[in-house]
Every structure is written in C-alpha cells, then in structure tokens.
C-alpha cells in the first residue's frame, strides 16, 4: 500500500478555500452589481457553482488520491444524475 506524504502546511486546502471564496464573491458581484439579463445572471451563477463543485471535489475530497479513483468518479457521476433527476423532476412537477 502506498503512503501519501502530508505536509504540515496544507497549501492545497488554502488555495481551494481562496478559489471557493473568489467564485462566491464573483457570483455575488454578478448577481448584485451587473445589469445583465436575468437568464445570463442565472447561467453565470450556475457555471460558477459547477466549477466550484468540481474544484472542491478535487481539492478537499481528494478524488485522485484513492486507490480506485475510477469507482469514485463513477459514484460522483451517478450522484450527479440522481441529483439532477430530483431537481429537474421537482421543477417539472411544480411547473405542471
């Protein structure tokens, strides 16, 4: 079994935190201080949320450090499909 080196100073976690903070602030600025049309604002916020989710999975959840990362990625894809099914199904039911 391979042992991973852990440094005392978690620079990866700090970079991930700062990137998350920057994306959150950027979404807030787009939402509150721009005159873009509502669909454009929602699209930008959605893209930033998707990017932040992926970044957090790799920076904090250590997706690539597992012995069987293909299974982890498969589980994540399955979770995304289930979440989208629930959200889109709920929106569809509420709309109709």
Alpha-carbon distance of 49 to 7, in angstroms, equals 29
- Cα separation, 29 vs 21, in Å, equals 12
How many Å apart are CA 64 and CA 58, to the nearest integer? 7
Region for residue 62 given its phi and psi (left: phi exceeds 0; alpha: psi -120 to 50; beta: otherwise): left
- Cβ atoms of 58 and 19 closer than 8 Å: no
Q: What is the pLDDT along the chain (96 residues), one digit of tens a residue?
A: 455 555 667 888 888 899 999 999 999 999 999 999 999 999 999 999 989 988 888 787 776 666 777 777 788 888 889 999 999 999 999 988
Q: Give the closest residue to 57 by CA, choosing from 43, 45, 44, 75.
A: 75
In the chain, where the domains are located: 9-61, 65-96
What is the reported pTM? Answer: 0.66
């Amino acid at each position: 079994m391979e042992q991973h080196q852990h440094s005392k100073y978690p620079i990866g976690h700090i970079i991930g935190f700062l990137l998350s903070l920057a994306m959150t602030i950027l979404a807030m600025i787009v939402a509150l201080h721009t005159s873009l049309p509502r669909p454009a604002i929602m699209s930008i916020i959605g893209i930033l949320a998707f990017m932040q989710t992926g970044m957090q999975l790799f920076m904090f959840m250590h997706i690539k450090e597992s012995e069987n990362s293909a299974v982890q990625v498969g589980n994540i894809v399955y979770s995304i499909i289930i979440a989208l099914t629930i959200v889109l199904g709920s929106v569809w039911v509420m709309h109709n």
